[in-house]
Amino acid sequence: MAREKIRIKKIDNLTARQVTFSKRRRGIIKKANELSILCDADVALIIFSATGKLFEFSSSSMRDILGRYNLHASNINKMMGPPSPYHQLENCNLSRLSKEVEDKTKQLRQMRGEDLEGLNLEELQRLEKSLESGLSRVSEKKGECVMSQISSLEKRGSELVDENRRLREQLVTLEMAKTMALKEAVETESATTNVSSYDSAAPIEDDFSDTSLKLGLPSWE
């Protein structure tokens, strides 16, 4: 079964990051030492931790190796000729921007509560004041969002009340129409019943008169 490839990204947990740094630092120093022994190479390794602590390894004298490196870099620069004013300005701006990025990155880590080991009391107090100011602005923004949500809910509640009132008025109108229709139906049915009763009663009186005449009884009229 193939080993799962580990995704390389910054470790957020401070403790885990420090443990990983310690293990990997020892590992890379071990590899550098093996490279110098196996290949008879001059190897120099310089490591700065996130807190600025220096770690180094050299297969021989670090000063001699760095001297050889500086000499090699100087020879390359001579072969390339003097840098133009434009390149000098560009390098200066690049160095300044790199320093600003490094400072801002370190400041951001400190605001997250990381890399606080090298700070003195005054620096910690400034950091605390900055965090309190930021927290105050966050609280104000949160309050504005809450008030906006409350206003929206109140507006929606008012709309629901108006809609409920309209529905009640429509229901009352429908009930009144239903009552009027039922009343008219009852009156119509009652009138029809009365007319039918009158029509059925008239022939009975005529039959009674005819029977009286046949029997020789006096008429009631």
Name which of 46, 42, 74 is nearest 61 in CA terms. 42
Among the candidates 81, 96, 125, a domain finishes at 81
CATH number for the domain that contains residue 41: 3.40.1810.10
Considering the domain architecture, whether residues 73 and 99 belong to the same structural domain is answered as: no
Residue 109 has which token pair? Answer: 């880590």
Asked if 34 and 92 sit in the same domain, the reply is: no
Q: Among residues 35, 63, 81, which one ends one of the domains?
A: 81
Are residues 18 and 47 both part of a single domain? yes
Mean pLDDT for the stretch of residues 54-58: 90
Long-range pairs for 42-49 at CB < 8 Å and ≥24 separation?
42/68, 44/69, 49/21
Question: Do 69 and 112 fall into the same domain?
Answer: no
pLDDT reported for residue 164: 87
pLDDT in tens, 120-160: 888 788 888 888 887 888 888 888 888 888 888 888 888 88
**pLDDT (tens digit per residue) in 59-102:** 888 888 888 888 887 776 666 555 566 566 666 777 777 777 77
What is the pLDDT, as a whole number, of residue 1? 55
200 domain-assigned: no
One domain for residues 17 and 47? yes
- For residues 71 and 44, state if they share a domain: yes
- Count of domains observed in the chain: 2
What distance in Å separates the CA atoms of residue 26 and residue 6, rounded to the nearest whole number?
19
Residue 109: which domain range?
84-117
Amino acid at 62: M
Query: Model pTM greater than 0.85?
Result: no
CB atoms within 10 A of CB 115: 18
Nearest residue to 49 via CA among 8, 19, 13: 19
